[in-house]
């Protein structure tokens, strides 16, 4: 591609990026979080809120792949022996089903289990990076920063779930490591809509203190 310099009409101001130095990051679009009958629903959440963003995420992913951009998928996942899962994380809130317990789609948040897999609509290609992360943020305990440095990636465009937890944590981690990040507002969602709205406001406040935000149509327009 002769010209890979692009600019998205974003908040609080334009988000410029070089396609060859930018990765699309898809956070935790796992069956257990998104699909009916999964772990998220067993906790009393309305997963239809999350399912609703899947067609838009798929549209962005398809366009991004066609443009030749790098793609990164993450899954919140633990080792089968739970040695990377602190007891405080497993026990907090005294849930009926805990991490590692047998759930509707296999052991909950354990790598390799059916519920831990990315949904079919956004299934990674063999050429794309897939990160199993033991924490909320995508950099903790994963070596992702070093991978991105080797690829000369400087900018990250985010979508996925949930907005206020794993997406925001990953964006804040990225900010601390010097990446410029954009969140696609209609490609992210929360079980609690008011949390999504607050998170978006926090991200682009004070001159993009954490990052930029924009609807996916603004990105699709420049990719086309």
Is the distance from CB of 111 to CB of 82 less than 8 angstroms?
Answer: no
Residue 215, token pair as written in the block: 């609807």
Q: Note if 166 is an active site residue.
A: yes
Q: How far is CA 147 from CA 25, 60, 152, 154, 159, in A?
A: 13, 23, 9, 12, 20
Residue 75, sorted as left (phi over 0), alpha (psi -120 to 50) or beta, turns out to be beta
Burial classification of residue 116, based on how many CB atoms lie within 10 Å of its CB (0-12 exposed, 13-18 middle, 19 or more buried): buried
Set 57, 85, 133, 187: catalytic member: 133
Set 32, 85, 136, 166: catalytic member: 166
DSSP letters for 99-137: TTSEEBTEETTBTTSGGGSBPGGGPPPTTSEEEEESSSS
- Terminal CA-CA length for the chain: 13
Q: Note if 187 is an active site residue.
A: no
Q: Note if 57 is an active site residue.
A: no
Report the catalytic residues.
Answer: 28, 133, 166
């Amino acid at each position: 591609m002769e010209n890979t310099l692009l600019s998205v009409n974003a908040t609080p101001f334009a988000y410029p990026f070089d396609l060859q130095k930018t990765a699309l990051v898809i956070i935790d679009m796992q069956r257990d979080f998104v699909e009916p009958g999964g772990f998220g629903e067993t906790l009393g959440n309305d997963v239809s809120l999350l399912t609703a963003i899947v067609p838009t995420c798929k549209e962005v992913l398809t366009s991004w792949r066609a443009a030749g951009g790098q793609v990164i998928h993450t899954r919140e996942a633990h080792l089968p022996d739970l040695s990377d899962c602190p007891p405080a994380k497993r026990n907090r809130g005294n849930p009926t089903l805990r991490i590692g317990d047998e759930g509707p789609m296999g052991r909950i948040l354990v790598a390799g289990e059916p519920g831990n897999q990315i949904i079919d609509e956004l299934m990674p290609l063999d050429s794309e990076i897939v990160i199993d992360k033991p924490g909320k943020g995508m950099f903790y305990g994963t070596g992702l920063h070093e991978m991105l440095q080797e690829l000369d990636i400087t900018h990250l465009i985010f979508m996925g779930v949930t907005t206020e937890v794993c997406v925001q944590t990953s964006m804040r981690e990225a900010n601390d490591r010097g990446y410029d990040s954009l969140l696609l507002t209609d490609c992210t969602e929360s079980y609690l809509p008011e949390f999504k709205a607050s998170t978006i406001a926090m991200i682009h406040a004070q001159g993009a203190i954490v990052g930029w935000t924009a609807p996916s149509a603004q990105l699709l327009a420049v990719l086309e």
